[in-house]
């Protein structure tokens, strides 16, 4: 991807998307679940409807895939497998959203797509059409999708046009803030496979612009203007991380850059892109929360800090920290890329859903 980008043959993310294409599977129904590719609120979705008689109103999940807002697809084999199982085992309606991607569609477009689908689905007549219990609906997502799920849950609180309340938000190794990309987890996992620090910085910057100036400033932690210094209280890892995750790392305080990048690309200071920047007044109104964080993951500390901030605000949180796992480990549940840790994480998450959704 880097070579193609440097030679001008293809944008970096276009090359990255080849991985997505190789993973795509068609919408195929089976004896348990009817699967269709359709649209809700003019946004493409993959819809999973259980075949068996409900007995009572069903649960529902709105799912947002990962991929750094730039790659990924609801039709990828791992997502299709997991959501098919969730639909069948929970007898739940699952809507997996194929939001538009950067760099063609930058922030806030991916957020607006998933929000539009969620708001549409939460209408009483739509819930009724699918036989969904309005008291048993959740949003969920992994990585960048976890970012989108957290942002949607926050935004719904401010929307007078939405009467249905979420029961649960599920955030699987989520990316939650673009202020401090020098957290202990970024330092500990700089060159770890699947999501090295350089790739996460690239994802974050591409979400807002292809201007290399932002990427370079993010890489050196000099993209936040002094005027936004008050926001660092929400991501101050010396306060929000437990001692065992701070380890021997020293917190040297916030570092700042000029105001120009934030003026041109204000999105990275927006809670819709960085949900960890939300105030306690917003957090305390959020629903029951499940957060998965993985030890060997640059995004580990985002999830840990959000769990601690939510608990401090009075929200009930189940925080599952997997000390032997890496970013996106839950995707590794199908041959030939099948790992015991992937099955364990998915089954733990599925069991929690059965109990709490």
pLDDT mean by block of 10 residues, the chain; 357 residues: 52 75 94 98 98 91 97 96 98 98 96 98 98 98 98 97 97 98 97 93 96 96 96 97 93 92 97 98 98 98 98 98 97 94 98 98
SS3 201: helix
CATH of 1-356, one of 3.40.50.1820, 3.40.50.300, 3.40.50.12160, 3.30.2350.10: 3.40.50.1820
* Residue length of the chain: 357
The CA-atom distances, in angstroms, between 340 and each of 144, 242, 289, 332 are 24, 28, 25, 8
Q: How far apart are CA 174 and CA 164, in angstroms?
A: 24
pLDDT value, residue 149: 99
| Preceding amide of 108 cis, omega within 30 | yes
Q: What is the pLDDT of residues 171-182, one digit of tens each?
A: 999 999 999 999
Residues marked as catalytic: 143, 297, 327
Q: Tell me the whole-structure pTM to 2 decimals.
A: 0.96
Lookup: tokens for 320: 């599952």
> Helices (H), strands (E): how many in the chain?
15, 10
Q: What is the pLDDT of residues 253-267, one digit of tens each?
A: 888 999 999 999 999
Q: What is the pLDDT of residues 44-85, one digit of tens each?
A: 999 999 998 878 999 999 999 999 999 999 999 999 999 999
Lookup: tokens for 250: 């020293």
Lookup: tokens for 68: 């750094």
The CA-atom distances, in angstroms, between 308 and each of 63, 130, 159, 301, 320 are 24, 36, 25, 10, 12
Lookup: tokens for 74: 């609801």
pLDDT value, residue 19: 80
pLDDT value, residue 14: 73
pLDDT value, residue 7: 46
Give the helix/strand (H/E) hosting 325. Answer: strand 317-326
pLDDT value, residue 5: 53
| Preceding amide of 298 cis, omega within 30 | no
What one-character DSSP code corresponds to residue 249? P
pLDDT value, residue 350: 98
Q: Any idea which residue has 């959501």 for tokens?
A: 83
């Amino acid at each position: 991807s880097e070579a193609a980008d440097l030679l001008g043959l293809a944008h970096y993310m276009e090359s990255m998307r080849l991985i997505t294409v190789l993973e795509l599977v068609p919408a195929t129904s089976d004896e348990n679940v009817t699967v269709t590719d359709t649209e809700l609120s003019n946004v493409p979705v993959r819809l999973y409807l259980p075949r068996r008689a409900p007995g009572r109103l069903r649960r529902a999940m709105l799912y947002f895939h990962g991929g750094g807002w730039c790659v990924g697809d609801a039709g990828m084999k791992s997502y299709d497998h997991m959501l098919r199982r969730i639909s069948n085992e929970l007898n739940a309606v699952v809507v997996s959203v194929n939001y538009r991607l950067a760099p063609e569609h930058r922030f806030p477009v991916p957020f607006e797509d998933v929000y539009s689908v969620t708001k549409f689905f939460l209408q009483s007549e739509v819930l009724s059409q699918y036989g969904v219990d309005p008291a048993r609906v959740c949003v969920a997502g992994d990585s960048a999708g976890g970012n989108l799920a957290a942002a949607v849950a926050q935004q719904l609180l401010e929307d007078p046009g939405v009467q249905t309340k979420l029961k649960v938000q599920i955030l699987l190794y989520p990316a939650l803030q673009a202020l401090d990309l020098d957290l202990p987890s970024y330092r500990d996992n700089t060159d770890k496979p699947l999501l090295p620090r350089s790739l996460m910085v690239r994802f974050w910057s591409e979400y807002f612009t292809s201007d290399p100036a932002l990427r370079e400033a993010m890489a050196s932690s000099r993209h936040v203007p002094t005027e936004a210094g008050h926001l660092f209280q929400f991501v101050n890892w010396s306060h929000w991380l437990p001692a065992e995750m701070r380890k021997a790392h020293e917190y040297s305080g916030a570092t700042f850059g000029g105001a120009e990048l934030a003026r041109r690309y204000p999105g990275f200071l927006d809670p819709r892109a960085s949900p960890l920047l939300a105030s306690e007044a917003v957090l305390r109104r959020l629903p029951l929360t499940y957060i998965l964080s993985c030890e060997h993951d640059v995004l580990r500390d985002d999830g840990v800090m959000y769990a601690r901030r939510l608990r401090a605000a009075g929200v009930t949180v189940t925080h599952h920290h997997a000390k032997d796992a890496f970013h996106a480990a839950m995707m590794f549940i199908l041959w030939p890329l099948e790992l015991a840790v992937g099955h364990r994480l998915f089954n733990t998450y599925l069991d929690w859903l059965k109990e709490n959704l």
